[in-house]
């Protein structure tokens, strides 16, 4: 697959603080690439360097096979950015805002009008085109922000934490919209510190911590990197110490505890163990109620790789 973004050994320092520490990324065409990391991990800095907004100390950035620079207008023409903070002019209406920002990319008025109308339809702001931003709700404002970033139909769209402070319904709309843009052919870079969102939409993910990529791959590949596997909880009427010790001998079981009428079983790596556990319970005449299975999350990946959770 064609490489859209190639970042090699990118270093960005703010005095003593190393914001990006030899960052390497390769993003292929057609991907929804997630940049996942806690606040301050370097996601927005990486995006800003990628867009030539920030100077960096070392490294190389190529987009669409060409070196990125402030004057690389042919590259910039193919990029759309949806910033974390809503970036619109308060004095202009919804239509005028989209038209203004689209006008920075598309100079032909007729073509631009068509694109602006399509963007308005895409984000569902048709009833609000004459509204000023201050009259819009938070969710509608986010939609306007997206429309301003994508109206010119870019090939590469960067979403920098677009769902921060957004209600669940608007968040789902935004995520669905991103999937639609991707299905229409756009390569997406999606930065977030919400791992559920990244898991939900991204085809490949890079986890950042302290300006470094600590892991990169599909969500399955990332979860395979850690020793922690599936966690199975079984409600039982009772289990003896002997039976619990016997359970530990089931292949793939890493640990088992009993407390408050529930056995908590940790499986190793990719081992899928729910069938074996049920078989064991039946063989040993252990009466059981509800069985729940919990797969490892990206937070578990982050925890195992860094020794801390996203919220630390």
Partner 1 sequence: MFFDIFKCRFKSLLREKSGFFWTLAFPLILSTLFFLAFSNLNKIDKFEKIKIAVADIQKAGDGFNAALRNSGLFEVSQMDLEQAKKLLSEGDINGYIKCKSANDFELFVQKSDFEESIIKMFLDSYRSSYSSAEKIIASNPASAKDVINLLSEEKTYINEMPSGNGNSTVIYFYSLIAMVCMLSSTYGCSEVIKIQADQSTCAARINVSPSHKLKVFMASISAAFIFEFFVTLIVTAYIKFVLRIDFGTSMAFILLLCAAGCFAGISLGAMIGALVKKPEQVKIGALVSVTMFFSFLSGLMYENMKYIIQKNAPALAFINPVSLVCDGFYSLYYYDTFDRYFLNVSILAAMGILFSAVTYFVLRRQKYASI
Interface residues toward partner 1, by CB under 8 A = 14, 44, 48, 51-55, 70-71, 73-74, 76-77, 79, 81, 83-89, 91-92, 96, 99-101, 103-105, 107, 109, 148-149
- Please report how close the Cβ of residue 100 comes to partner 1 at its closest, in angstroms: 5
Burial environment of residue 126 by CB neighbours within 10 A (0 to 12, 13 to 18, 19 or more): exposed
- Please report how close the Cβ of residue 103 comes to partner 1 at its closest, in angstroms: 5
* C-beta of residue 159 within 8 angstroms of C-beta of residue 190: yes
Residue 74 or residue 312: which is nearer to partner 1 going by CB?
74
CA distance 28 to 160: 18
- Please report how close the Cβ of residue 155 comes to partner 1 at its closest, in angstroms: 13
Give the Å distances, CA to CA, from 130 to 95, 116, 139: 7, 14, 17
- Please report how close the Cβ of residue 146 comes to partner 1 at its closest, in angstroms: 12
Give the Å distances, CA to CA, from 240 to 26, 51, 80: 53, 62, 61
CA distance 107 to 311: 45
Residue 46 or residue 263: which is nearer to partner 1 going by CB?
46
- Please report how close the Cβ of residue 110 comes to partner 1 at its closest, in angstroms: 13
Residue 57 or residue 309: which is nearer to partner 1 going by CB?
57
CA distance 251 to 58: 49
Residue 288: closest CA among 233, 247, 232, 234:
234
Residue 48 or residue 182: which is nearer to partner 1 going by CB?
48
Residue 160 or residue 300: which is nearer to partner 1 going by CB?
160
């Amino acid at each position: 697959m064609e490489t859209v973004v190639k970042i090699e050994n990118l270093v960005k320092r703010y005095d003593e603080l190393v914001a990006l520490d030899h960052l390497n990324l390769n993003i292929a065409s057609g991907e929804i690439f997630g940049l996942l990391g806690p606040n301050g991990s370097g996601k927005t800095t990486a995006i800003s360097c990628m867009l030539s907004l920030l100077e960096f100390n070392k490294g190389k950035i190529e987009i669409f096979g060409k070196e990125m620079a402030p004057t690389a207008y042919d590259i910039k023409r193919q990029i759309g950015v949806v910033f974390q903070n809503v970036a619109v002019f308060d004095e202009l209406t919804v239509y005028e805002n989209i038209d203004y920002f689209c006008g920075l990319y598309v100079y032909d008025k007729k073509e631009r009008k068509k694109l602006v109308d399509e963007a308005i339809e895409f984000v569902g702001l048709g009833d609000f085109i004459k509204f000023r931003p201050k009259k819009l709700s938070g969710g509608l404002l986010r939609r306007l922000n997206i429309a301003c970033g994508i109206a010119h139909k870019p090939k590469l769209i960067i979403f920098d934490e677009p769902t921060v402070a957004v209600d669940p319904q608007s968040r789902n709309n935004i995520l669905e919209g991103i999937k639609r843009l991707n299905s229409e052919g756009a390569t997406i870079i999606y930065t977030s510190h919400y791992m559920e969102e990244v898991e939900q939409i991204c085809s490949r993910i890079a986890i950042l911590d302290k300006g470094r990529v600590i892991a990169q791959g599909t969500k399955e590949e990332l979860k395979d990197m850690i020793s922690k596997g599936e966690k199975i909880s079984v409600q039982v009427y009772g289990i003896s110490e002997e039976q619990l010790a016997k359970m530990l001998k089931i292949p793939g079981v890493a640990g088992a505890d009993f407390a408050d009428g529930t056995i908590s079983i940790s499986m190793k790596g990719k081992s899928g163990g729910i069938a074996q556990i049920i078989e064991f319970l039946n063989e040993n005449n252990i009466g059981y109620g509800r069985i729940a299975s919990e797969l490892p999350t990206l937070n578990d990946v982050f925890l195992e790789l860094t020794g801390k959770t996203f919220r630390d």
